[in-house]
């Protein structure tokens, strides 16, 4: 599977923000990837997310298809997505479930098993401890949520959890808050890393109501590939600002270690990105690369099938749809003019989704 990338480890709890920001800057310049530790999302919570994910993906296909992706939320079956639109492959060998923002006006676009699958099957048989776990978790969420939002320091329109009766959504809502909290702190450090005011990305509207998507992914172990070259996730760079990724530890993720700014697969070599326990794998997305005029790398990566089943959860922190992403003054000069024109984040994302899904 190739040599392992020795990525820097960033400690989000370090009191020395400036030295942390410097380490982030170097990691984003050198790799576009780093590990994030002490992020405040307990291993146990992530374990539960993977448990729920396993249960969900093991449901019969027709049940999962009752929640098929609409408005980029819900279930995407095997081979429905091709992250490398230039590849002739029949699609990526993974299935996934997207959860969109749970706050703001579009939160009602989300799909939940309680809306679809509950109607189709006897859920107590499929998920026996569902209700009791949800009940317990739900109460914890309500308590912790308040703290998390106060800590994040902004006041989004919170979807009234009291009106939700699905523990599944509450569970994901909680992890989204935790990760969002880690993400918000990280975005402030990224601003410092770029020698900007700490609240720069908030001021330009990037993180008002970020277009944050949580994506649960399942890579099946056995594939019927009939000799075809099949990827778990074909070579791609992420679209947004940053991605926080948790995996179950099964290998497969590879990133290109290449000369600067290379998005060419034939250039450089692929290295393994291993899991570090209790760390998120963080990577820079294309819009951050545009902001920084390629100073920060949005590195190509992919997931190779290993014959082993694999689960991951990727949290994509993208700028608000109306945020205009344009080259930072500090990242261009007469001799190094902006490489990309300004673009509205929403337009950029729409185009990337169109190329990936054909819709």
Ligand X SMILES: O=C(O)CCC(=O)C(=O)O
Q: What residues line the site for ligand X (CB under 6 A)?
A: 215, 217, 233, 238, 245, 247, 253, 301, 303, 312, 314
Question: What DSSP designation does 103 have?
Answer: B
Nearest-angstrom CA–CA distance, 111 and 146: 24
Handedness of CA 324, 330, 334, 340 (dihedral sign): negative
Instruction: Take residue 350 and report the two structure tokens written for it.
Output: 């729409």
Residue 76 CB, shortest distance to ligand X, in Å, is 11
Q: Which entry of Fe ion, ligand X, none binds 312, CB below 5 to 8 A by partner kind?
A: ligand X
Q: Name, in order, each residue with C-beta under 8 angstroms of 316's C-beta and a sequence gap of 6 or more.
A: 212, 213, 214, 215, 238, 239, 240, 243, 285
Residue 238 CB, shortest distance to Fe ion, in Å, is 5
Query: What number of CA atoms fall less than 13 Å from residue 357's CA on the CB side?
Result: 16
Instruction: Take residue 86 and report the two structure tokens written for it.
Output: 């230039």
> Coil, strand or helix: which one is 134?
helix
Using CB under 5 A, count the residues that bind Fe ion: 1
Nearer to ligand X, 99 or 233 (CB): 233
Q: Name, in order, each residue with C-beta under 8 angstroms of 143's C-beta and a sequence gap of 6 or more.
A: none
Closest residue by Cα to residue 284 from 39, 86, 96, 27: 27
Cβ–Cβ under 8 Å, residues 230 and 303: no
Residue 213 CB, shortest distance to ligand X, in Å, is 10
Nearer to ligand X, 24 or 253 (CB): 253
Residue 69 CB, shortest distance to ligand X, in Å, is 14
Residue 283 CB, shortest distance to Fe ion, in Å, is 7
Nearer to ligand X, 234 or 345 (CB): 234
Nearer to ligand X, 244 or 314 (CB): 314
Q: Name, in order, each residue with C-beta under 8 angstroms of 180's C-beta and a sequence gap of 6 or more.
A: 148, 152, 210, 212, 317
Q: Which entry of Fe ion, ligand X, none binds 294, CB below 5 to 8 A by partner kind?
A: none
Residue 93 CB, shortest distance to ligand X, in Å, is 12
Nearer to ligand X, 24 or 303 (CB): 303
Nearer to Fe ion, 170 or 288 (CB): 288
Nearer to ligand X, 134 or 304 (CB): 304
Residue 144 CB, shortest distance to Fe ion, in Å, is 28
Nearest-angstrom CA–CA distance, 117 and 82: 26
Nearest-angstrom CA–CA distance, 33 and 351: 24
Residue 289 CB, shortest distance to ligand X, in Å, is 15
Q: Which entry of Fe ion, ligand X, none binds 298, CB below 5 to 8 A by partner kind?
A: none
Site for Fe ion in 222-241 (CB under 5 A): 238
Site membership for Fe ion, residue 286 (CB under 5 A) = no
Q: Which residues pair with 36 in a beta bridge?
A: 10, 280
Q: Which entry of Fe ion, ligand X, none binds 66, CB below 5 to 8 A by partner kind?
A: none
Nearer to ligand X, 20 or 312 (CB): 312
Nearest-angstrom CA–CA distance, 295 and 342: 16
Residue nearest ligand X (C-beta atom):
312
Residue 60 CB, shortest distance to ligand X, in Å, is 23
Q: How many CB atoms lie within 10 A of CB 150?
A: 10
Which residues in 320-336 are b (16+ Cβ under 10 Å) and which e?
bbebebbbbeebbeeee
Nearer to Fe ion, 134 or 214 (CB): 214
Cβ–Cβ under 8 Å, residues 239 and 355: no
**Where on the chain is the footprint of Fe ion (CB under 5 A)?**
238
């Amino acid at each position: 599977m190739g040599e392992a990338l020795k990525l820097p480890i960033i400690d989000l709890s370090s009191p020395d923000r400036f030295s942390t920001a410097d380490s982030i800057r170097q990691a984003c310049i050198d790799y576009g990837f780093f590990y994030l530790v002490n992020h405040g999302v307990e291993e146990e919570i992530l374990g539960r997310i993977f448990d729920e994910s396993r249960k969900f993906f093991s449901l019969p296909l027709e049940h999962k298809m009752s929640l098929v992706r609409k408005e980029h939320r819900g279930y995407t079956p095997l081979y429905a997505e091709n992250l490398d639109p230039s590849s002739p492959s029949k699609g990526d060998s993974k299935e996934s479930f997207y959860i969109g923002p749970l706050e703001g006006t579009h939160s009602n676009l989300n799909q939940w098993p309680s809306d679809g699958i509950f109607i189709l099957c006897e859920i107590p048989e499929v998920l026996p401890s569902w209700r009791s776990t949800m009940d317990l978790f739900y109460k914890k969420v309500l308590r912790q949520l308040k703290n998390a939002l106060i800590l994040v320091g902004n006041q989004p329109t919170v979807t009234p959890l009291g009106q939700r009766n699905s523990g599944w959504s509450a569970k994901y809502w909680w992890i989204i808050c935790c990760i969002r909290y880690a993400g918000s702190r990280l975005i402030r450090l990224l601003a410092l890393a770029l020698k900007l005011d700490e609240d720069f990305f908030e001021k330009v509207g990037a993180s008002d109501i970020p277009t944050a998507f949580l994506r649960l992914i399942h890579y099946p172990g056995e594939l019927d590939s009939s000799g075809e070259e099949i990827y778990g996730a074909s070579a791609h760079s992420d679209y947004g600002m940053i991605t926080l990724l948790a995996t179950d530890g099964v290998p497969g993720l590879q990133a290109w270690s290449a000369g600067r700014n290379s998005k060419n697969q034939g250039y450089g070599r692929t290295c393994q990105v291993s899991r570090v326990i209790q760390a998120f794998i963080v990577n820079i997305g294309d819009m951050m690369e545009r902001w920084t005029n390629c100073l920060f790398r949005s590195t190509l990566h992919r997931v190779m099938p290993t014959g082993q089943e694999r689960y991951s959860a990727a949290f994509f922190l993208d700028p608000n749809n109306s945020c205009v992403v344009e080259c930072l003054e500090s990242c261009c000069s007469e001799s190094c003019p902006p490489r990309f024109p300004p673009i509205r984040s929403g337009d950029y994302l729409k185009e990337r989704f169109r190329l990936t899904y054909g819709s």
